[in-house]
Amino acid sequence: MKLSEMATHANWASLQPEFVDSEVEAAYTSDLLSDVMANAHDADVLITIQAHNNTIAVASLAGIKGIVICNDRSIPEDMLASAAKEKIAIFRTSQNQFQTSQTVANALDA
């Protein structure tokens, strides 16, 4: 399933159009950036509430292609600008991390 298809399926708002619409095979859920760095291995999507610029740096270093910001947290402009520069997708959802993880897991299993 492609990132854009996943977003449509899960009803996420896509907040910046400049991203590589790659295939989603795995996701990682964490709000701890050091943990993401160390363990997100080959995750394509990061599910988190960390809506700031450093999340983009970590995502870029860890090879993550899309970030889902949970609980409708507001996303600063500079984060969106960095994401566009790194070609990383940013989505937002009103669901929490658990619900979002469940949605992604179900979609990947289907």
Binding site for another protein (CB under 8 A): 31-38, 48, 50, 52-55, 57-58, 60-63, 78
**CB 27 within 8 Å of CB 46:** yes
CB of 110 to another protein, least distance (A): 28
Which residue, 6 or 59, is less far from another protein as judged by CB? 59
Which residue, 22 or 60, is less far from another protein as judged by CB? 60
Going by C-alpha positions, the residue among 67, 74, 56 that lies closest to residue 28 is 67
Which residue, 26 or 38, is less far from another protein as judged by CB? 38
Q: Which residues, listed in sequence order, are joined to residue 45 by a DSSP beta bridge?
A: 27, 66
CB of 12 to another protein, least distance (A): 21
Residues of the chain by 3-state class (helix, strand, coil), percent to 5: 45, 15, 40
**CB 29 within 8 Å of CB 61:** no
Give the 3-state secondary structure of residue 60.
helix
CB of 3 to another protein, least distance (A): 20
CB of 22 to another protein, least distance (A): 15
